[in-house]
Structure 1
């Protein structure tokens, strides 16, 4: 069964938002949310992760679209296509550090918007294409998992996993200095791991407690790598440290 491509639109012009939603819906996309403030957008997007974000650069409020894009890039990897009234070298240089997946210059036609969206989706899919995937995702596994990598089924012992990073619909495993990227959500991956061994320390990070060498209120250190600790996760982390110490 084919599912519709989910798009979140961040735009403070109500008339334009409705027009864009109508066009996208007719073309078979699902506009899962329309947001008009950058300040609240990040948390809402994290709860309802789309396949692509259409983001107006000029938003009313303390934060603009560039600020929001920077924030999104820190926690997830989703195609971002900017809506902008500006064009040319200046605007490209202004957002080059974000590495947007496309631009739609206002005013635009329905055809140009759909073309930009499709090019962004295809380019993103191609650049993040990977053979790595958890095998037997519906079967509980605790001591080891197999991932598909380069035509091989590679066994990864869960005790060797140092930490895990969630990035949208992808999950990165860090094992003995090597990164494995999986086309699975972090929720699917965590279900295969021993619950008493792995602890979430940040909305984007889960660590193997047995690999932790040092910690503070703001970071956990595994060998030479410092992994951020979210403010709301520190107390739970201390409880798990105490359990291991008993």
Structure 2
């Protein structure tokens, strides 16, 4: 035993360990805490205990344990984290898919109280059933999970569509507590800056927000379509709405930032 700076540094010999400590590891932890309480930094502790083969991680975790619990005693519950990918969880996921192959992974994760990453790992690695298919509804959310390809599930694996379907262009605004009337764009009309300002901003957005929001502050986001980011329309928004996200603030190629395009 060596005495320095009024603290004790333990030598982890078997005789010493049996006399003063339950184990060599406990002697190392005691030495670390003694130096720590004497005001030594962690790098200094590593240097002074080099003869004990103490590394930086050992010092860090020992001091953290001491600060968290006031002791160097082993905290129970350590070791590998319990995984959610248990046979029971795999069976639960499989049972849900058998009842409804279109059930979303996000919904299953919420029902089973596990992360979406865990659901994806179970689907891909355990059940091997992740087969996203092309759909005309929403390719981000519409998926079918099947464990095999057969004639029985052919209808689930086939997505139909038509060439040159009829289309209609509309405009609408939504808030957390309401929605605007829908504006139908006339067929064949190219939405220019002037058309957008006169038929959408002035004729629809301004009167609806005045009635719906009153004096409450609100922010108007829109993407960077040519008619949206036109200088005259950016100036109009600056003068007629409380706040808006300008075209210079809008990130390019980010449809997920527009709930009307991405979700609704």
**If the TM-score is normalised by the length of the shorter chain, which range does it land in?**
under 0.3
Give the structure with higher Rg (CA): 2
Q: Which has the higher helix share?
A: 2
Greater RCO, 1 or 2 (C-alpha within 8 Å, sep 6+): 1
TM-score (norm 1): 0.23
